[in-house]
Protein backbone atom coordinates (compact mmCIF):
# COMPACT_ATOMS: atom_id res chain seq x y z
CA UNK A 1 0.00 0.00 0.00
CA UNK A 2 1.20 3.47 -0.71
CA UNK A 3 0.80 6.51 1.52
CA UNK A 4 -2.35 7.74 -0.23
CA UNK A 5 -4.09 4.34 0.05
CA UNK A 6 -3.31 4.15 3.77
CA UNK A 7 -4.57 7.68 4.43
CA UNK A 8 -7.77 6.96 2.48
CA UNK A 9 -8.36 3.68 4.36
CA UNK A 10 -8.14 5.35 7.77
CA UNK A 11 -10.30 8.31 6.77
CA UNK A 12 -13.05 6.16 5.20
CA UNK A 13 -13.16 3.82 8.19
CA UNK A 14 -13.94 6.49 10.77
CA UNK A 15 -10.53 7.31 12.19
CA UNK A 16 -10.15 10.96 13.19
CA UNK A 17 -6.85 12.88 13.12
CA UNK A 18 -5.49 13.81 16.55
CA UNK A 19 -4.74 17.37 15.44
CA UNK A 20 -5.89 19.30 12.38
CA UNK A 21 -6.99 17.43 9.29
CA UNK A 22 -6.08 14.18 7.61
CA UNK A 23 -4.51 16.20 4.84
CA UNK A 24 -2.01 17.80 7.22
CA UNK A 25 -1.56 15.22 9.96
CA UNK A 26 -2.74 11.75 8.95
CA UNK A 27 -0.02 9.81 10.82
CA UNK A 28 -1.70 10.24 14.23
CA UNK A 29 -5.38 9.41 14.59
CA UNK A 30 -7.90 7.97 17.05
CA UNK A 31 -11.07 5.91 17.16
CA UNK A 32 -13.10 4.36 20.00
CA UNK A 33 -10.75 5.60 22.73
CA UNK A 34 -7.53 4.31 21.16
CA UNK A 35 -4.78 6.25 19.47
CA UNK A 36 -3.04 5.03 16.32
CA UNK A 37 0.34 6.05 14.92
CA UNK A 38 1.02 5.13 11.30
CA UNK A 39 4.64 5.23 10.22
CA UNK A 40 7.10 3.89 7.71
CA UNK A 41 9.35 1.41 9.50
CA UNK A 42 12.84 2.89 9.72
CA UNK A 43 14.49 -0.28 8.49
CA UNK A 44 11.93 -0.64 5.71
CA UNK A 45 11.62 -4.39 6.29
CA UNK A 46 7.92 -4.36 7.15
CA UNK A 47 7.05 -1.25 5.16
CA UNK A 48 4.24 0.70 6.82
CA UNK A 49 3.43 -0.19 10.42
CA UNK A 50 0.80 0.83 13.00
CA UNK A 51 1.33 1.43 16.71
CA UNK A 52 -1.85 1.00 18.78
CA UNK A 53 -2.25 2.59 22.20
CA UNK A 54 -3.74 1.15 25.36
CA UNK A 55 -7.15 2.49 26.34
CA UNK A 56 -5.43 4.43 29.16
CA UNK A 57 -3.25 6.42 26.78
CA UNK A 58 -0.67 8.65 28.39
CA UNK A 59 2.07 8.92 25.78
CA UNK A 60 3.52 6.60 23.17
CA UNK A 61 6.52 5.60 25.28
CA UNK A 62 4.30 4.31 28.11
CA UNK A 63 1.02 3.32 26.51
CA UNK A 64 1.61 1.14 23.46
CA UNK A 65 -0.39 -2.12 23.36
CA UNK A 66 0.83 -3.13 19.89
CA UNK A 67 4.10 -1.86 18.49
CA UNK A 68 5.04 -1.94 14.79
CA UNK A 69 2.15 -4.08 13.55
CA UNK A 70 2.42 -4.35 9.74
CA UNK A 71 -0.35 -2.37 8.04
CA UNK A 72 -1.67 -5.43 6.17
CA UNK A 73 -2.10 -7.34 9.45
CA UNK A 74 -3.81 -4.34 11.05
CA UNK A 75 -6.34 -4.15 8.21
CA UNK A 76 -7.08 -7.89 8.44
CA UNK A 77 -7.67 -7.69 12.21
CA UNK A 78 -9.97 -4.69 12.03
pLDDT tens-digit series, residues 55-78: 988 888 888 889 889 999 999 998
- In this predicted structure, the answer to whether residue 43 has a pLDDT above a threshold of 70 is no
CA-to-CA distance for 52 and 65, rounded, in angstroms? 6
| Spans of all domains in the chain | 3-77
14: left (phi over 0), alpha (psi -120 to 50) or beta: left
Ramachandran angles phi, psi of 20, nearest 5°: 75, -140
- In this predicted structure, the answer to whether residue 20 has a pLDDT above a threshold of 70 is yes
CA-to-CA distance for 42 and 23, rounded, in angstroms? 22
Residue 13 confidence (pLDDT): 96
pTM of the model: 0.86
CA 71 to chain centre: 8
Amino acid sequence: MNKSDIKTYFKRNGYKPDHGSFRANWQYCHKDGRHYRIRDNEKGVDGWVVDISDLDFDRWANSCEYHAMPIEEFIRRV
